Structure formats: structure tokens, C-alpha cells
């Protein structure tokens, strides 16, 4: 699973927490329950850049250094857009 050093990026609001690892993005509710888990968004870093409405905009690094590719994920269900 994950260790405390696995997480590289945290984004939160009053009712959710987004956690990015080197490869994945997870959404937790206010009770720390995992709502969804999206795997394989990168191999050496995942960054949440912004949230527009119900869409998460981010990037995953696929070819380090500098091989960042954009992604869009539904905030509601974790599906790729």
C-alpha cells in the first residue's frame, strides 16, 4: 500500500481531500473514507493543478524529467474525461 512518504500533493476543501502519489489520485470524504482511486496517471509524479466545477485538471509525469501529460478527472466519480 502507501507509506507516509508516498504522497506528493494534497488538495482539500471543507468536504473532501484529494491525495496524489507518484502514480495515482485518491479522493477521501470528511471521515477519511476513500470515495474513489484512479491509478496510472503517471509514473513519477501526479499533480492536481485546478478544479473547475466537477472536473479535476492535473498532470502526470510519464517520461522524467519533464514528460508531463495533462489529464481531466471527474470529481464526482473519478472517471477520466
- pLDDT-derived band at 31 (thresholds 50, 70, 90) equals confident
Q: What is the pLDDT of residue 57?
A: 96
**CA gap 44, 61 in Å, rounded:** 5
Instruction: Name the more confident of 31 and 3.
Output: 31
Average pLDDT, stretch 38-59? 94
The CATH code that applies to domain 9-74 is 2.40.10
Q: What is the pLDDT of residue 66?
A: 84
Average pLDDT for the chain = 87
pTM for the whole thing?
0.83
Amino acid at each position: 500500500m502507501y507509506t507516509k512518504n508516498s504522497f506528493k500533493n494534497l488538495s482539500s476543501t471543507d468536504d473532501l481531500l484529494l491525495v496524489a502519489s507518484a502514480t495515482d489520485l485518491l479522493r477521501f470524504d470528511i471521515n477519511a473514507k476513500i470515495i474513489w482511486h484512479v491509478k496510472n496517471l503517471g509514473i513519477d509524479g501526479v499533480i492536481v493543478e485546478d478544479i473547475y466545477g466537477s472536473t479535476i485538471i492535473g498532470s502526470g509525469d510519464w517520461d522524467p524529467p519533464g514528460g508531463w501529460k495533462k489529464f481531466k478527472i471527474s470529481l464526482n466519480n473519478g472517471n477520466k474525461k
